[in-house]
Structure 1
Amino acid sequence: MDAPYIEIDRLTKRFGAFTAVDDISFTVHPGEVLGFLGPNGAGKSTTMKMLAGFVTPTIGTARIMGDDVTERPVQARRHLGYLPEGAPTYPEMTVTGFLLFTARARGYRGTEAGDRVHDAMRMTQLEEVRLQPIETLSKGFKRRVGLAQALLHDPPVLVLDEPTDGLDPNQKHEVRNLIARMAPEKAILISTHILEEVGAVCTRAIVIARGRIVADATPAALAARGPDLDAVFRELTQETA
């Protein structure tokens, strides 16, 4: 098996007396789409922020393509496309303007920057709103702008926090198809509470509750524990309550 693109090793994050993430370890290899499941406050977004280098771990390490996100943050982020919770942007910018700004921040210039923006808009189907200020867009289109900026540099690792949040059913289907097309060449970590998404796009699922991993299996193996994934999700998260 190829070396893992994502390595999480005994990662822990404490905020004062509260432990948000509690000694978790896992790896994600190329070709894997890992669904990261858990109730609100379980530690999903905190784990992703540590992996992306936005939150410093209290204990433990996270590596992207072998680069430690704390010791080699610039190198690690070059390998990463990150869609954070809420996908913050510059609301007064147009879609094209924001994505060009992002491309230049990634080091692209001239024709190459324009090509990157064009490809990202095509993949996320943003052409029809390319000249609109981001603040005028619906929640679903704003989410797609956030996804486009994560894909601009064609990174080998994608960390996507609720990538289909706010999208209508057709848009969700399109994004899931996009993830499936990209999956063979990348390691993808998706945080979601939409359990149908796990069965639709994920090759593996981790369930986290109270900062600890309570299950790590294929979607089929999780579903085999109960009549549907919703029942399994409730069962596993209630075990730690």
Structure 2
Amino acid sequence: MSIVVKNITKMYNAQKALDTVSFTLKKGEIVGFLGPNGAGKSTMMKILTTYLTPSEGTASVNDYDTQTETQNVRKSVGYLPEHNPLYLEMYVREYLTFNANIHNTPKERVAEVIALTGLTPEAHKKIGQLSKGYRQRVGLANALLHDPEVLILDEPTTGLDPNQLLEIRNLITSIGKEKTILMSTHIMQEVEAICDRVIIINKGEVVADRKLQELREGQQQTVIVEFDYRVETVALERLDQAVSVKNTHDFIYEIVFKGKEDMRSKVFDFAHDNGLKILQLNQKNASLEGLFMELTSS
């Protein structure tokens, strides 16, 4: 196992941030770590990266104990915290070279991570000149410098615009082919697009640990579509497997379908047959969102 967490409890004075949390991650998994603000996600991640010690329980990364083998854990983990700490006055290549020296990493690795994270066009710029999307890339490049087997990413897509979000999503997916990734996020679409599995935590306790495929099978899905012209909802209700249709605003519609088949192709065919243009077409897993709301609303 890449990560093993057994009965972790963390107290801040009288406040219990984590309450006997247990889970495991296999090598090569990309796991979404979900929960409302204050649920304990960041605390758990800081324990796994040795920034915090638990009050009770044990955790290991690549078979190294986070309390007794901290240096080996740090060599095994790449960490991108929620508030990405960067030296804005340093140039991208300069910053990464500085951190490579700290890790005793060969200088050749700097060029590798710059290429891997798509930073080549920006490598000559100061970090303070970069967009938030590129600053996140710098943070990911830094986390990858020492070629860790495990990546721990705390809200890696917060504050990004749609284009930046897609770029970072694709980058994480690509990296996840070779590494184990634990990623916290509030964005359900990110979990559905990137992750193999989801762990939901609420009030310091794990309330769900499920594979995404299990949630998709036999459940409902919501397709969000924007046309270039208004459509009568009754026409969309006639689509095969459609359960309900809602015109949210302007020419945007949410269509709930039953079954696990991706129904976006049906919506595309509808638009084509009726001479409509599609301005956006997205899918969200209604069961994941519903499960999250059900387990964290109390």
* TM-score normalised by L of structure 1: 0.90
Q: Offset at 1:20? A: 0.8
Q: Which amino acid aligns with 1:186?
A: K
Q: Offset at 1:135? A: 2.5
The equivalent position to 2:15 in structure 1, one of 8, 13, 18, is 18
Does residue 1:216 correspond to 2:221, yes or no?
no
The equivalent position to 2:132 in structure 1, one of 135, 139, 142, is 139
Q: Which residue of 1 aligns with 2:70?
A: 73
Structure with higher helix content: 1
Q: Offset at 1:18? A: 0.8
Q: Which residue of 1 aligns with 2:227?
A: none
Structure with higher strand content: 2
Report the secondary structure of 2:294's partner residue: helix
Report the secondary structure of 2:93's partner residue: helix
Q: Offset at 1:134? A: 1.8
CA 1:226–1:70: 2 relative to 1, 3 Å: farther
Deviations 1:20-41 (A, max 9, x none): 1111011101121110001111
Q: Offset at 1:12? A: 1.1
Identity %: 47
Matches within 5 A, 1:1-241: 4-108=1-105, 112-113=106-107, 115-223=108-216, 228=286, 229-238=288-297, 241=298
Deviations 1:73-116 (A, max 9, x none): 001111111111111122221111110011111102xxx31x21
Q: Which moved more, 1:169-178 or 1:83-92?
A: 169-178
CA distance in 1, matches of 2:85, 2:167: 22
CA 1:125–1:67: 2 relative to 1, 3 Å: same
Determine if contact 1:33/1:203 at 8 Å carries over to the other structure.
yes
Determine if contact 2:133/2:168 at 8 Å carries over to the other structure.
no
CA 1:143–1:181: 2 relative to 1, 3 Å: closer
Query: Which of structures 1 and 2 has the larger relative contact order (alpha carbons within 8 angstroms, sep 6+)?
Result: 1
Report the secondary structure of 1:185's partner residue: coil
Q: Offset at 1:136? A: 2.9
Determine if contact 2:49/2:79 at 8 Å carries over to the other structure.
yes
Q: Which amino acid aligns with 2:290?
A: A
Determine if contact 1:205/1:218 at 8 Å carries over to the other structure.
yes
CA 1:139–1:181: 2 relative to 1, 3 Å: closer
Determine if contact 1:222/1:232 at 8 Å carries over to the other structure.
no
Q: Which moved more, 1:215-224 or 1:53-62?
A: 215-224
Cα RMSD after superposing both structures: 1.6
CA distance in 2, matches of 1:226, 1:232: 12
Determine if contact 1:36/1:190 at 8 Å carries over to the other structure.
yes
CA distance in 1, matches of 2:215, 2:175: 24
Determine if contact 1:143/1:165 at 8 Å carries over to the other structure.
no
* TM-score normalised by L of structure 2: 0.74
Q: Offset at 1:65? A: 0.6
Report the secondary structure of 1:220's partner residue: helix
Q: Offset at 1:186? A: 1.9
> How many corresponding residue pairs?
232
Give ranges in structure 1 of 5+ residues lacking alignment. none
**Which one has a bigger Cα radius of gyration?**
2
Determine if contact 2:79/2:151 at 8 Å carries over to the other structure.
yes
CA distance in 1, matches of 2:150, 2:293: 29
